[in-house]
């Protein structure tokens, strides 16, 4: 199995947002800035990687009739850990992400990967799968966060550094409000669909 | 915390901090189950029911079991277990006693245990430090707000089936564009009603 191609699969074909269409709530809610997007993805990645490793390691012991409750307990344990770590060491980030850190537990991406991948594959491939999916999630969140932040505030400020500054006067404040999130993801999905249709037309 | 009037909590739950359009909770069902009005109605009914029930149950659990035993850190895990158990119980009772209701709501009930809106309302109740009555009102109001938006969305999507639009916009992108317009309308409640 090729590690690099597995990770690329997580970013492209099995991309959690555009490929599998899972985990929409955090994607839209916390992407008001690139910084929040990175924090959210880091939390989700931690939970996804550990949940995949544990589910995969225990897959022979878990009776298949009660596997979903067991997956949820495993996931909830790691979410509680992330919740406490963030509250203790990154209080501003924790305040910005709010209720969405504990809500990682019902993020369909994690239980979806546990059920569809980790439950059937060995520990190492499950780990690689989790890394790939997390990378895909991070990139999409940063893209959406970047678009919203730059249009909404005219600049991208990440962890105290101003990355880009546009002379946007006045900035489109709507973009960092809830409608901006729907507009951004709708546009991105339309572009992805358009590219897919183009590819299909070329191939067939 | 500031003592909030029940009416304020009701309006917040239904309009001002609408779960779907403002707080982004429960979006999977928002784009998944709004293809026709009938299933949107069924799903909303089930959500209102479960939200009110789980707000009640989790408040009792948190206040009378977890806090006296100093086990607030187990909150998340126990809420999930409570919601899952409650959904099972509701499904069981409804199937046995009200078969007609079960036929219309039944298939949506299992979907709800992984709906972030239900866990969200429970966590927000703890975060806002609502008391018993406030928790129940907030749970019910959030469910009502969910229903209002689900019905609007599904009615618009049903009608827009006949509209000619490019094929790459049909489906999810179109749903998100409709949501943008609805959300724009709802965002303005922030300023119209200063609470």
In this predicted complex, what is the ipTM?
Answer: 0.86
Question: Distance, in angstroms, between A5 CA and closest chain B CA?
Answer: 28
Q: What is the pLDDT of residue B154?
A: 92
The two three-digit tokens of residue A149, written as one number: 């932040």
A163 φ, ψ (degrees, to nearest 5): -85, -50
pLDDT at B85 over 80: yes
Residue A96 banded pLDDT, cuts 50, 70, 90: confident
Give contacts of A112 with chain B, Cβ < 8 Å: none
Q: What does the angle CA B181 – CA B184 – CA B190 come to, to the nearest 5 degrees?
A: 155
Give contacts of B26 with chain A, Cβ < 8 Å: 25
Q: Which residue of A has its CA nearest to B119?
A: A103
Overall residue count recorded for chain B in this entry: 195
pLDDT at A73 over 90: no
The region that residue A33 occupies, defined by phi over 0 for left and psi between -120 and 50 for alpha, beta otherwise, is beta
B135 Cβ contact partners less than 8 Å away, ≥ 6 residues apart: B55, B56, B59, B125
Are the C-beta atoms of residues A44 and A75 closer than 8 Å to each other? no
The two three-digit tokens of residue A83, written as one number: 């919740």
Residue B122 banded pLDDT, cuts 50, 70, 90: very high
Buried b / exposed e over B139-177, threshold 16 CB at 10 Å, is bbbbbbbbbbbbebbbebbeeeeeeeeeebbbebbbbbb
Per-residue model confidence as pLDDT tens digits over B17-70: 888 888 888 887 888 788 888 888 888 888 888 899 999 999 999 999 998 988
Contact state of B84 with A69 under an 8 Å Cβ cutoff = yes
Count of domains forming chain A? 1
Least confident of A29-38, B30-39, B65-74, B170-179: B30-39
Per-residue model confidence as pLDDT tens digits over A99-146: 889 988 888 888 888 888 888 899 999 999 999 999 999 999 999 999
User: Which of A29, A108, A174 lies closest to B23 in CB terms?
Assistant: A29
Q: What is the CA radius of gyration of chain B?
A: 18
Q: What is the pLDDT of residue A46?
A: 95
Give contacts of A80 with chain B, Cβ < 8 Å: 73-74, 76-77
- Pairwise CA distance, residues A73 & A40, whole Å: 21
- Pairwise CA distance, residues A191 & B177, whole Å: 13
Are the C-beta atoms of residues A39 and A96 closer than 8 Å to each other? yes
pLDDT at A45 over 90: yes
User: Where in the sequence is the domain holding A75, given as residue range(s)?
Assistant: 3-203
């Amino acid at each position: 199995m090729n590690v690099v191609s597995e990770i690329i699969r997580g970013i492209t074909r099995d991309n959690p947002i555009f490929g599998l269409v899972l985990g929409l709530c955090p994607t839209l809610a916390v992407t008001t800035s690139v910084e929040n997007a990175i924090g959210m993805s880091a939390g989700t990645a931690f939970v996804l990687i550990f949940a995949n490793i544990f589910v995969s390691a225990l897959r022979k012991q878990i009776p298949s009739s009660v596997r979903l409750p067991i997956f949820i307990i495993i996931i909830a344990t790691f979410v509680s850990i992330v919740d406490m770590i963030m509250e203790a060491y990154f209080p501003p980030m924790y305040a910005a992400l709010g209720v969405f850190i504990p809500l990682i537990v019902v993020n369909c991406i994690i239980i979806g990967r546990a059920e569809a991948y980790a439950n059937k594959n060995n520990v190492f491939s499950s780990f690689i799968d989790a890394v790939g999916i997390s990378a895909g999630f991070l990139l999409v969140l940063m893209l959406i966060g970047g678009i919203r932040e730059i249009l909404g505030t005219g600049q991208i400020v990440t962890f105290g550094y101003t990355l880009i500054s546009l002379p946007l006067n006045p900035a489109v404040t709507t973009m960092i409000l809830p409608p901006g999130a729907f507009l951004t993801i709708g546009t991105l999905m339309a572009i992805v669909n358009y590219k897919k249709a183009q590819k299909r037309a070329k191939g067939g | 915390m500031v003592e909030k009037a029940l009416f304020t909590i009701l309006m917040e739950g239904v309009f001002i901090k609408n779960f779907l359009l403002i707080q982004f909770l429960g979006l999977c069902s928002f784009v998944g189950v709004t293809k026709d009005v009938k299933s949107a109605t069924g799903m909303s009914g089930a959500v209102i029911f479960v939200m009110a029930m789980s707000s009640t149950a989790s408040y009792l659990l948190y206040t009378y079991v977890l806090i006296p035993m100093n086990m607030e850190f187990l909150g998340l895990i126990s809420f999930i277990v409570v919601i899952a158990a409650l959904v099972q119980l509701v499904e069981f009772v409804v199937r046995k006693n009200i078969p007609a209701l079960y036929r219309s709501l039944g298939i949506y009930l299992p979907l709800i245990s992984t709906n972030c809106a239900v866990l969200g309302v429970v966590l927000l109740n703890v975060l806002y430090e609502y008391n018993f009555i406030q928790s129940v009102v907030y749970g019910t109001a959030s469910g009502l707000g969910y229903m209002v938006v689900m019905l609007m969305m599904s009615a618009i999507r049903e009608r827009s089936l006949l509209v000619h639009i490019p094929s790459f916009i049909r489906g999810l992108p179109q749903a998100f564009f409709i949501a943008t317009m609805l959300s724009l309308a709802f965002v303005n409640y922030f300023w119209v009603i200063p609470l």
